[in-house]
Structures are given as structure tokens and as C-alpha cells.
Structure 1
Amino acid sequence: MSFRTALSREARVTLWRSLQTFTVTRIVIALVLLLYLGLDIAEDGVHGTSSSEACLFYLAAALGFAVAGARYRRRFALQLGAQVAVDLAVISLLYLAAGGMRSGLAILYLFPLAGAAILAPLLLALFSASVATLFLLAESLWQVFMQDRQPPLMQAGLYGAAFFAGVLMINRLAARLLKQEELAAQRGTDLQVQQLINGIVIADVGDGILVVGDDGVVFTGNPAARRMLGLAGEATGFRLGEGPGMEPLSQAFNAWLRAPVDGAVFVTVKPYQESEGVLRGRRDGPVHLKLRFTRVDTPGVALGRSVVFMQDVSAIENQAQQLKLASMGRLTASIAHEVRNPLSAIGHATALLAEDLHGPAEVRLLKIVGDNVARVNRMVEDILQLSRKVQPNGEPLLLANFLAELKAEFCETHGLADDIVHIGDAGASSVRFDPLHLHEVLLNLLGNAIRYASRQPASIRIFPARDAAGRIELHVQDDGPGITPEVRSHLFEPFYTTSSKGTGLGLYLARELCLNNDAQLDYEYRFDAAAMGPRKASGRFVISFARPA
């Protein structure tokens, strides 16, 4: 160990702190010696007085070293050398005054030698040990030749051997500890830099990230997660599901804890009101999130941490739709002439052929042609309707009467029993939505529902509800198997369909009509035990109407 400038700042701080501990210990030893040796004044005035004076000098020197080490942190080697030299000199004086080896004060040499072994280079520590050993041997030889006494020479030699062995062992241990501290300091610096880098990356990433315990307590979260959940600056210290708006997130997390599976989960988080009436969450309405859960592996440490990755699916869906609409907009202008006219000719020719051809094979082929002509024509009508941004009707629409008429029309058109479609109590609720637009949106949703429902009583349900922000919602649910997360991620994209007879524009058109009326259409997953169907299907279409004017 040396006093090279290559030592890290943390190692130098440790050396100065150890030197301060060394000086404090010296003060304690000086006080103990002063109290103990001061009693010798009554027995031996000369030697007792000299011992007390030496102890007083030692105490004053120790206080001076303490002040110097605290205020003047420079020239570490010089301060340490001076302190060790004073220690050896004072202890030697006390040793002589107390009568030499038989006094037992030789043990005091271990204090400065241990300090030198810890704080000084090995050469200086061994030099201090050799000085103490030579002094003990010289004092013993002086008594033999000059005073004709028989001191324990063997004991002096053993003390010297013990000094050298102790200094060597303590110095090597101190050097190893200092290297380990430097390594730990370097690793700590690297870890701090890595944490700063991770913090920058996590803060800048677009996906929301939450670190959650098994009890649902959120330990940390990045800014994207706060934006998605509408938490402002509060992203820690709360529990998932503590508010009604967070309940879908909590239920999805608990379901994953019970049965961890790979894959995404979709939930809808809405603003909610606390007991004091304070509205929390995103004020701009519901947010549809795609969730992924990952367990944090902590071998040997039972921390129980999981990471929740959140992705705002609405923004991704809107981006995909805009990309498709950009190309579709260029196509819309020429569809009327380039597609509808040839399509009308094909349909007319098919009708004429149907009058002359009556064989089973010809009828089947003509039916295929007619069905596909009707399908393409319906697609053209849907595309043309997308370009018509009709100004919605701003008059209030009474939901109860509207839903009753819609149910009667739908059941009559599809030949359904009256009890298959169940309408919830809408009371006197009214919404701002164009009746023709809402009629088309609900017929589209009911058409999808009847395709998958069991057609048992109340297998299709339409019921109004109200969220925490005071907005009226209309839920459309059936007892079918529900929509898988893979299909849900493309559900409202134009031209995406899972049916061979569909155009892929129905749900997209329904959402566009809702947006045109300041409303929102979404497919939500609800993790409630009262979900319909044998598979506990929890998905439903939800129309969130605009707030009352």
C-alpha cells in the first residue's frame, strides 16, 4: 500500500477517516494512562510526576493531531509519520519510567504499530516495528551490562517477533481491504452510470413500464406509464385496483399471477372518482392498453417483483388507420366510375343469364357471381360513405325510445324471438348523437353479435352505464367466445376481417361515425365473474358518448 495519487477518491476518504479514528483512540488511551499512572505520584514522587507529565504531553499532542487531521487534510504521510513517532517516543518514556519489561507497558506499542500497519506502506510499518523492538532489546541489554540485573530477554525478543508478525499480517489485510473497497467503489460508479443510462432509456421509451410487487403495490414507473394512466407525478406508492378505474389492470395482473402465460392482455382504463369526489385518471377519456407481464428472477431473494409493460393500442391503431386511409383517399375519387360502372354491368349481365340458365351448376355459379358483386358493391358504398363527413345532429336523443325501436326492427329483420336481445334500463338518459349514425353503428354491432351468440334468451345485451367522469356509455355484449387479443389488435383497421363474407369496413365505419359525433367506440375486456357464456366471455363493445353540453 502506498500514498500514490492513483488511489480513488473513496479510498483516500477512507484513509483520512481511519486516521481520525486513530487519533480519537489515542486521546482515549492518553486519558486512561493519565488516570492510571497519576496514582504513582503518591508512591514515587519523581517517577510519578514524570509519568504524569508525559501523559499530559501525550494528551495535548493527541488533541493537536485530531484538530490537524480534521482541518488540514493534506500531506497524509507526514501527519501519520509524526503521530507514530510521537506514539513511540511517549510510550518509550512511560516504559522506562515504569521500570521496563516488568511494568507490562510494552503492550502499548501494539497501538501505534497497528495504526502504522493499517495506514502506512509496509516498509514504514516494518521500520516502526523494528524501532520498537530495538528499543526493547537495548533497554534489556542496558540493564544487563550497566545495572547488573537479569531482565527477561526472551520476553523482549518475543515481543519483537510479535510486533513484526502483527504488522505484516495487519498490513496485508488492510491492503486487501483497500483494494476491495476501490473495486467496490469502481463497481458502484459503473452501476450508478448504468442506472443513469437505464433511467434515460426508460424515461424516453414510448411504452409504459411499472414495477409491481405480488401484493399489487407499484414501486416505480416511467413517465410514459404516468401519461397512460393519467397519474401526473404519482407513479409509486399506490396499489393497483385501489380505484375503480385501475381495477381492470389489477384483475389482469392477479389473473396472470395465478396462471402465468405468455402473450398480451388488453384492458381499458378509465378515469374514476375517489371518496372525496376527486377525479383521477386521464381526463381525455378511456385508454385502451396492451399489457405484457414479466417476472423478475431474483435467485435466493424472495422479493416478488414483476414488470408490467403497457402499450397504448389506441395510438397504434389510429396510426395504422391513417396509413391505410392515406392510400384509400387517393382511390376513393376514381371508385365511382372505375369500379361501380363495370360492377353494374356485371350484375346486370348476371341477372340476364339467370333468366335463361336453369341448370343446377349454372345457378350455383351465377349465385357465386351475384354474391361477390353484392359484396364488392357494399364495399364501394362503405368507402364512399367514409368520405362523407356529415355534420351530426346536435339535438338530444332519448336512449330508451331509440333502443326499443332498434330492438324491434332488428328482431323483425333477422326473425329473432323478442327475448334474445335484452335492453337495459336507460331511464331518462339522453345523448348527443345523430340518430341515423347511431342506428347504423348499433346495427353493425348487433350484426356481429348475432353471428356468434347462442341465440338463447338474453344472449345479446344492450345496457347503458355511466363512468366516473359522468359520461354515458352503451355496452353491447353477447355470450359468444369473445375476440382474441390477436384479432383485437386489428379489430378497427379498415379492410381487416375474419369472415369470408365481410368487407372489413363495418367496425371501422362504426368507429368513424362515433368520432364524428364526439363519441368513442372500443372493445373492452372485463374480468368480472358475472360475464356471460360458458367461457366467461368478458369482451364487449362500449360506446362512450360525449359529455352533456
Structure 2
Amino acid sequence: MPVRTLLSPESRATLWRSLQTLTVTRIVIALVLLLYLGVSINGGAGRLDAVNTQACLFYLAAALVFAVLATWWRRRFALQLGGQVALDLAVISLLYLDAGGMRSGLAILYLFPLAGTAILAPLSLALFASAMATLFLLLEATWQVFMLERQPPLMQAGLYGAAFFACALLVNRLAARLIKQEELAAQRGADLRVQQVINGIVMADVGDGILVAGDDSTVFTGNPAARRMLGLEGEAAGFRLGEAPGLEPLAQAFASWLRAPVDGAAFVTVKPYQQETGALRGRRDGPVHLKLRFARVDTGGVALGRSVVFMQDVSAIENQAQQLKLASMGRLTASIAHEVRNPLSAIGHATALLAEDLHGPAEVRLLKIVGDNVARVNRMVEDILQLSRKVQPNGEPVQLGAFLAELKAEFCETYGLAQEVLYIGDPGASAVRFDPLHLHEVLLNLLGNAVRYASRRPASIRVFPAHDAAGRIELHVQDDGPGITPEVRAHLFEPFYTTSSKGTGLGLYLARELCLNNDAQLDYEYRFDAIDGTGGNDGADGVDGVDGAEASGRFVISFAQPAA
């Protein structure tokens, strides 16, 4: 039938399964008829005669043939259905006549093929089959009236006919609605499969990492970019972020967002970590700095607790920005050495001579302004020239204990600070391979930035060692001033970027370059540290979870490896 050609393959498969069910039901009815006509209610010989026996056996054999056809030859659906319905009507009519007409009670059997037709065929064919069964009952009753001069129950034949039509109409409408719902479900399923394929292609090719995690930090899925960023190639889903030591910063940032969802981004640094088996996991090329964004999955009231974590590797972006600036700066280095330093020296010398003759307050203030700006430009020139000097670092190990103690005394004296303002954690016997002059310059740069924002209360500036998940030594520099915002953090180590009117924007960049020159890494990280009893953040002792912890930023120097 033409209407059936418009159905989807899923709906057509459902119709064939329904036709198979109809053939199985026909076999059962044939067996029941043999049993029913062969048993007498009064203990007699029953109603099974030669006609009934041959009709029931033929009906059973035909039902078996139709069952085999519907199973193994799925073609000509309309022809198979029409042949089965015609067989049902013919056999039931023959048994109906042989059993005595309306008084036999076999008219109820017409409902079986009529209901099947209403389910599997259009309404017109279902009504046609109902009309044929009704006309047969009425004609049989009329024959008895005029030819056999009997008084059959005409009213009962009419009621059967009305029931046939009502059954066909009701069942056909219900079946049509079910088929429509199945068509809609099949279409939605096809759209969903297409969308899943599209999502898979997008997630596989997108450069940003994407993780789907539950409220307990269980990772359900992730795209290849996320696995590359976190060093999880080959790792099966279903693990928790907090179970991997190197992924604790990510787990802590996610848990913090779950407690207080915000639209802003978070920054974490994921470093290689050592498993219990001794294998090193994570990015083999070193730490990766990630910009995180979180989004809650709206499940429409279904309590699944899913969130999406978007990860962007900002390390490559930062390096690219630095390289672009350095490419321009490198072309200017040679000319700056000769064209800027000599005039600066002349201006500085002239300012010093003028200071000997001018003693008025206004003149002194103006000369001080000139001298300060000359010193600032000269410092910028020195920093630029230093960038081009790739001095080989000293390979001798540095004992952190003695080095930090000496640095503390020098720093407090230079800035006129009380000794208790700068807290130095106990490094024990830790030693690192770092050129002492380079490490001295890096730490003075970081401490100089810290003293500008710290409250200068006891332990307001803190320098303490720690160990990362891979067992490497870290040195944390932290103050109690306002933290660096994620917006500023994105440009923090770019050359010539500064938020201070007195800065050159090269200090942190030089500090990072010196660390890289010594096979170390300098970064600004947001850590979750337990709150100690003094009211400060005990940065040396990290916590496994985030309950009772607060996020704090600090500069972290990650040394390449512990010194032998």
C-alpha cells in the first residue's frame, strides 16, 4: 500500500514483527478450535465432523505457511496481509455455517482477523473486512428466514456487525497514533545519532579541552585535546580528578566552582605526577597552564549532576605573544645599546652637575624627576640587553637553607623591613641546581613586587619550599596583599606589560627567562591551602580536598630536579 512506503525502516520492521505475531496467534487459534470442536460439553462425541476437521487442519497448515513467509520472505506486505485476512474470513465463515450459525457462538472469532487488519492495514481495508463479515452474518440470517423458514436472532447479527465496525475504527485509530509516535521517535533517534556524530567530530577536532564530570569530580568523558593537556592518553573514563595527584588543582578549582558558581575563568597549572607504580604521568613536555571555564548541564529536572569543564592551554598563547614581542625587540637591541645609553649617560651627568649649583626646592624636585626617569630608562635598557645574553648557569647545587637566610637579611636591610615581616620556611637540607646569581635576581624581583602590596605585618611575605606530585622541589613566594586577577594573569609574563606606573614590564619576564635558562619553571598559580591557626595561609601544607580551604595566588618556582 502506498501509505506504508512512507514509513521509516524502523516502523516497517515493527509492522513485520506484528504480522509475525498475528501468524503465531493464528496457529494458536487453529489448535484451540480443534480442541473446542472435538470436546463435548455433555460428554458426547463432540462437534468435530469431517468438514470441521478438514477446515481446522487446513487452517493450521496455512497458518504455518504464512508464519514461515512472514519470517523469511519480508516482501509484499500488503499481499501477505490480504491473503491471511481472506483465509481467516473464509475458514471462520465455513466453521460458522457448519456449526449452526449464530447459535454456535463462533461469530466472535471474526474479531481476531478484523482487529489484526485494523492494526496493520489502512482504515479503508479494515472497514472493508468488517463490512464483508457483517454482510455474511446478515445474509446467513436472511437465508434462514426465507429458505429454511427459521427465526434466527437478527438483532444479534446486527450487534455483531456494529461491534465489528467499532472495533475496526477504534483499533485502527489507536494503531495509527502509535505508528505516528514511533515515526516521531525514529526521527528523533536519527536526529540524535546525527547530532552525536557531529558532536564527536567537533569534540575530536576542537583545540580546547572538554571534560564532562559529575558533582563528585568523576570524569565521564573527555575529548582528545583534554586528554593531551592532562596527559591522560589511553586512560579510561570513570576516574575521579582528585585521585590523580597532578590533577588536584583542577579538582579543587572544580569543587570551588560547585560551591559558588561564577561566570569568570579560573587558572590552574597541571604538572607531571608520579603514580604509585613509579610511572610518571602527565604532559611529558612539562607543566601546562590551563584557563578553565565551567558550565552546568541543564537536565530538565533530572538529577544527574553533570557539568562541562572547558580547558584552554594558555601556555602556547603566552609563548606566542612573547615571541612576537621579542622578535620586534631583538631588532632594536643593538641600536638601543649605542643610541640610548650614551644620551642617558650625558643627561645623568648633566643632572648631577646641576644638582651641585641648584639648591631651591623647586629645582631639586625637578632634578629628582629627571634623575628618576633617567634611572628608569637606563634600567629598561639594561634589562633589554640582558635578554640577549644567554649566560650558561653555574651547575653547582645551591643549599636553599643558607641561601634563603642570606637573602632574607639582605632584603630586609635594603627595604628597611623588620625581620618578622619576611617568613622563610625551613627547607631542611634541600639543594637545587640553579645558578645562585640568577636565583638571587629572580627572588629579589619577586620579593620586590611582594613588598609593594603586602601589609608589612609579621609573616605578610612568605617564602617556603614544597614538593610537587612528581617529587620535585618548589619554592613559593606569597604575600597577603590582593591577588592577581585572571585578566592580569593572562598577560603577567609578557614583556613590557605592567600595571604600575613605575615599572618597565620586564622584571617578571626576565625572572621567567632566567628560570628557563636553569631548566626551571616560574609561574603564578592559584592554590587551595588550609587555613592555619594564625589566620594566614599555610602554603607549605596542601590539602587533599577543598573543605575549609581558600584559594590564594602565589609565584611558584619549580626546579628541574632535586640536586644529587
Shorter-chain TM range is: over 0.9
Partner residue in 1 for 2:552: 538
1:248 aligns with 2:265: no
Q: 1:61 and 1:419, CA in 2 relative to 1: closer, same or farther beyond 3 A? A: same
Equivalent residue number for residue 31 of structure 1: 31
**Pairing 1:511–2:512 present:** yes
Cα distance change, pair 219–352 in 1 and its aligned pair in 2 (3 A): same
Range that drifts further, 421-430 or 317-326: 421-430
Structure 1 outlier segments of 4+, above 6 Å:
none
Q: Secondary structure at the match of 1:368?
A: helix
Which residues in structure 2 correspond to 1:31-110 (within 5 Å)? 31-40=31-40, 43-44=44-45, 47-110=48-111
Partner SS for 1:501: coil
Post-superposition offset of 1:211: 1.8
Distance between the aligned counterparts of 1:227 and 1:37, measured in 2? Answer: 76
Cα distance per residue 1:45-75 (max 9 Å; x no partner): 6744533443332222222211111111111
Contact 2:229 2:288 in 1 (8 A): yes
SS at match of 2:466: strand
Q: Please give the alpha-carbon distance, in whole angstroms, between the structure 2 residues aligned to 1:275 and 1:500.
A: 49
Name the SS for the 2:529 alignment partner. coil
Q: Does 1:445 align with 2:442?
A: no
Do the aligned residues in 2 keep the contact of 1:480 with 1:537 (CA within 8 Å)?
A: no
Give how far 1:512 is off.
Answer: 0.6
Instruction: Supply the distance in 2 between the matched residues of 1:213 and 1:32 (Cα, whole angstroms).
Output: 57
Give me the whole-angstrom Cα distance separating, in 2, the residues matched to 1:339 and 1:163: 107
Please say if residues 39 and 45 of structure 2, whose CA atoms lie closer than 8 Å, have aligned partners that are also in contact: no
- 8 Å contact kept, 1:210–1:308: yes
For the 8 Å contact 1:214–1:304, the answer to whether it is kept is: yes
Confirm or deny: 8 A CA contact 2:400 2:432 kept in the other structure: yes
Corresponding position of 2:320: 319
Offset from partner CA, 1:150-178 (integer Å, 9 cap, x none): 11111111111221222123223323332
Q: Distance in 2 between matches of 1:46 and 1:187?
A: 55
Segments of structure 2 that go 5 or more residues without pairing to the other structure are 538-548
Q: Shift in Å at residue 303 of structure 1?
A: 2.6
The 5-angstrom pairing of residues 161-172 of structure 1 reads: 161-172=162-173
- In structure 2, the residue matched to 1:547 is 561
The 8 Å contact of residues 2 and 120 in structure 1, kept in 2 or not, is answered as: no
Instruction: Give the secondary structure class of the aligned counterpart of 1:527.
Output: strand
Moved more, 303-312 or 172-181: 172-181
Alignment of 1:121-520 (within 5 A): 121-234=122-235, 236-520=237-521
The answer as to whether partners of 1:95 and 1:103 remain within 8 angstroms in 2 is yes
* Higher mean C-alpha deviation, range 506-515 or range 14-23: 14-23
Shift of 1:442: 1.0
- SS of the residue aligned with 1:481? coil
Deviations 1:332-375 (A, max 9, x none): 12111121122222222222222222211111111111111101
Contact 1:465 1:472 in 2 (8 A): yes
Give the Å deviation of 1:186. 2.2
The answer (yes or no) to whether the contact 1:270–1:287 under 8 Å persists in 2 is yes
Contact 2:38 2:45 in 1 (8 A): no
1:255, 1:184 → 2: CA distance? 40
How far residue 440 of structure 1 moved from its aligned partner, in angstroms, is 0.9
Counterpart in the other structure of 2:20: 20
**1:477-535 deviations in Å (ceiling 9; x for gaps):** 22222212121111111111111111110110010111111111111111223277499
Task: Name the CA shift for 1:235/1:513 in 2 (closer, same or farther; >3 Å).
Answer: farther
Equivalent position of 2:11 in the other structure: 11
Structure 1 residues 450-475: Cα deviation after superposition (integer angstroms, max 9, x where no partner): 22222223222222222222222111
Distance in 2 between the 1:141 and 1:271 partners?
95
Task: Give me the whole-angstrom Cα distance separating, in 2, the residues matched to 1:67 and 1:341.
Answer: 104
Equivalent-residue separation in structure 2 for 1:507 and 1:446 (angstroms): 11
Partner of 2:528: 527
Cα separation, 2, equivalents of 1:508 and 1:52: 102
Per-residue Cα deviation, 1:60-110 (whole angstroms, up to 9, x for no partner): 222221111111111111111111111111211222232211222211111
Contact 1:292 1:309 in 2 (8 A): yes
SS at match of 2:469: coil
- Between stretches 344-353 and 362-371, larger displacement belongs to 344-353
Deviation at 1:275, TM superposition (A): 4.5
Partner of 2:543: none
Give the deviation of 1:223 after TM superposition.
1.4
Q: Distance in 2 between matches of 1:359 and 1:48?
A: 141
**Contact in 2 for aligned 1:521/1:542 (Cα 8 Å):** yes
3-state DSSP class of the match of 1:529? strand
Report the Cα distance in structure 2 between the residues aligned to 1:37 and 1:146, rounded to whole angstroms: 27
Please identify, of 262-271 and 321-330, the stretch whose mean Cα deviation from structure 2 is larger.
262-271
Deviation at 1:141, TM superposition (A): 1.7
CA displacement, residues 87-142 of structure 1 (integer Å, 9 cap, x when unaligned): 11121122223221122221111111111111122222222112111111122122
- Give the distance between the partners of 2:452 and 2:47, measured in 1 at CA: 116
Does the 8 Å contact 1:290/1:313 carry over to 2?
yes
TM-score calculated relative to the size of structure 2: 0.92
Q: Tell me, in whole angstroms, the C-alpha distance in 2 between the residues paired with 1:237 and 1:129.
A: 59
Change (3 A) 1:517 1:473: same
Deviation (angstroms), 1:536: 5.8
Deviation at 1:24, TM superposition (A): 1.8
- Conserved? CA contact 1:222–1:235, under 8 Å: no
In 1: Cα distance, 2:469 partner to 2:373 partner:
46
The CA distance in 1 between the partners of 2:345 and 2:500, in whole Å, is 24
For structure 1, which runs of at least 5 residues remain unmatched after alignment?
Answer: none
Opposite residue 339 of structure 1, the aligned amino acid is V
What secondary structure, in the 3-state scheme, does the structure 2 residue paired with 1:88 have? helix
Q: CA deviation at 1:6?
A: 3.1
Q: CA deviation at 1:292?
A: 1.3
Question: Structure 2 CA distance, aligned partners of 1:95 and 1:437?
Answer: 109
Instruction: Indicate the larger mover: 282-291 or 435-444.
Output: 282-291
- Relative to structure 2, which stretch is displaced further, 417-426 or 81-90? 417-426
Query: Residue 9 of structure 2 aligns to which amino acid in structure 1?
Result: R
Provide the rounded CA distance (Å) in 2 between the counterparts of 1:53 and 1:544. Answer: 95
Partner of 1:289, secondary structure, is strand
The alignment's TM-score, normalised by the length of structure 1, stands at 0.94
Q: 1:506 & 1:52 partners in 2: Cα distance?
A: 106
Superposition RMSD in Å:
2.2
Separation in 2 of the partners of 1:136 and 1:239? 73
How many residues align structurally?
A: 549
Deviation at 1:381, TM superposition (A): 0.6
